[in-house]
């Protein structure tokens, strides 16, 4: 137990430090963005705010993952981070739209910016985002942390773009560069937000995980020795990296003691190939067509086998 807790605590410390640094930089970019009249810097504050939320979500996820399930929350708190990510992403879509509208106004009525101040603040941002990305990189084996690492890496690049923009304004005097940069940053925020919305909605609507093909799961289960047919198959996500499965499995008649081997084989295949950790499998045997709760053997069924199975799966309670 102690072995698991230590990397978790280290991860939480890194995430806490990242949150403090990012929050300080959000305030700095916003205040100096107003001072320098730079919409690109203000957009950068918005972009960094998205990073702050991403780090906060990872922190919450790391915390909640260690909390046990209860009688009220039988799956634990795995969806809390998903729900927060969805709300966060919707907020960011609104933010990116506001930045784009402001930028269009700026293009129509140019405002004089202070490129030197833009460059100084952005340079501090590159340093900070780069440092956080480096700290997180050590833990990037954890997929939750890897998503934040990529977020910070993208932010380091967009902040570097503000420095280049500041230099271009300084040498050419073309102030339209600033709103154009902010539109590019707004598009980056929008692009990352929409992918988060799609992913979280799929989880909240109990969709099949994007990394899992239902046909492949069915074939893998049917390849286990003793399994004749798999139907009423459902796969869904509990959290962003935790998958569950429920299914009816037809097996040939055999002593009860041998059924455990089939179940172990199914669970091992599902865990090793698809990272499915929570399974509910109901066995049905051939030669019991008349018994309620069993499906007729596949060889006795007509063309509409799938329809029959699917209907059967929902026609009785278990």
Nearest to 273 by CA among 223, 220, 228: 220
CA distance 262 to 251: 9
Residue showing tokens 């129509």? 108
User: Residue 177's Cα: distance from chain center in Å?
Assistant: 33
Q: What is the pLDDT of residue 118?
A: 83
With 80 as the cut, is the pLDDT of residue 254 above it? Answer: no
Tell me if 2-204 shares its fold with 214-315.
no
Which of 30-39, 69-78, 233-242, 279-288 has the highest mean predicted lDDT (pLDDT)? 30-39
Q: What is the pLDDT of residue 100?
A: 87
CA distance 124 to 163: 10
pLDDT, tens digit, 9 for 90 and up, residues 219-235: 889 888 888 889 889 88
Q: What is the pLDDT of residue 147?
A: 67
The domain limits of the chain are: 2-204, 214-315
Q: What is the pLDDT of residue 27?
A: 92
Q: For residues 66-104, b (16+ Cβ closer than 10 Å) or e, as one string?
A: eeeeeeeeeebbbbbbbebbbebbeebeebbeebbebbe
List, as one string, the DSSP characters of 96-154. Answer: HHHHHHHHHHHHHS-----HHHHHHHHHHHHHHHHHHHHHHHTTTTSHHHHHHHHHHHH
pLDDT, tens digit, 9 for 90 and up, residues 275-288: 888 888 888 887 54
Domain 2-204 homologous superfamily, CATH: Cation efflux protein transmembrane domain (1.20.1510.10)
List, as one string, the DSSP characters of the chain. Answer: -HHHHHHHHHHHHHHHHHHHHHHHHHHHHHHHHHHTT-HHHHHHHHHHHHHHHHHHHHHHHHHHHTSPP-SSSTTTTTTHHHHHHHHHHHHHHHHHHHHHHHHHHHHHS-----HHHHHHHHHHHHHHHHHHHHHHHTTTTSHHHHHHHHHHHHHHHHHHHHHHHHHHHHHH--TTHHHHHHHHHHHHHHHHHHHHHHHHHHHHTTPPPTT--HHHHHHHHHTSTTEEEEEEEEEEEEETTEEEEEEEEEE----HHHHHHHHHHHHHHHHHHH-EEEEEEEEEETT-TTSTT-PPPGGG--TTHHHHHHHHHHHS--
Residue showing tokens 């230590």? 6
CATH code for the structural domain at 214-315: 3.30.70.1350
- Report the pLDDT averaged over residues 210-222: 86
Q: Is the pLDDT higher at 290 or at 42?
A: 42
Cβ atoms of 75 and 12 within 8 Å: the answer is: no
- Considering the chain, what is the average pLDDT of its residues? 77
């Amino acid at each position: 137990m102690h072995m698991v807790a230590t990397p978790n605590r280290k991860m939480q410390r890194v995430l806490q430090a990242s949150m403090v640094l990012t929050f300080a930089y959000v305030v700095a970019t916003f205040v100096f963005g107003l001072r320098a009249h730079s919409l690109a810097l203000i957009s950068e504050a918005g972009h960094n705010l998205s990073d702050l939320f991403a780090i906060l979500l990872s922190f919450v996820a790391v915390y909640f993952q260690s909390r046990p399930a209860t009688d009220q929350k039988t799956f634990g708190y795995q969806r809390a981070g998903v729900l927060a990510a969805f709300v966060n992403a919707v907020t960011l879509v609104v933010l990116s739209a506001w930045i784009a509208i402001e930028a269009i106004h700026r293009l129509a009525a140019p405002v004089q910016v202070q490129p030197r101040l833009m460059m100084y603040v952005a340079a501090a941002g590159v340093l900070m985002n780069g440092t956080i990305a480096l700290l997180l990189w050590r833990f990037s084996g954890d997929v939750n942390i890897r998503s934040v690492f990529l977020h910070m890496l993208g932010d380091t690049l967009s902040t570097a773009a503000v420095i280049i923009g500041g230099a271009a304004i300084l040498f050419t005097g073309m102030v339209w560069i600033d709103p154009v940069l902010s539109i590019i940053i707004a598009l980056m925020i929008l692009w990352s937000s929409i992918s988060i919305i799609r992913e979280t909605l799929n989880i909240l609507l109990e969709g099949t995980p994007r990394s899992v093909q239902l046909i492949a799961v069915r074939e893998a289960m049917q390849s286990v020795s003793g399994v004749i047919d798999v139907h009423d198959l459902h796969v869904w996500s509990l959290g962003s990296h935790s998958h569950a499965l429920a299914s009816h499995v037809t097996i040939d008649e055999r002593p009860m003691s041998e059924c455990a081997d089939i179940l172990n084989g199914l669970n091992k295949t599902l865990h090793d190939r698809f990272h499915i950790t929570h399974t509910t499998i109901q066995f049905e045997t051939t030669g019991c067509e008349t018994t309620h709760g069993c499906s007729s053997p596949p060889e006795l069924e007509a063309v509409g086998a799938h329809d029959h199975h699917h209907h059967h799966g929902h026609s009785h309670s278990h």
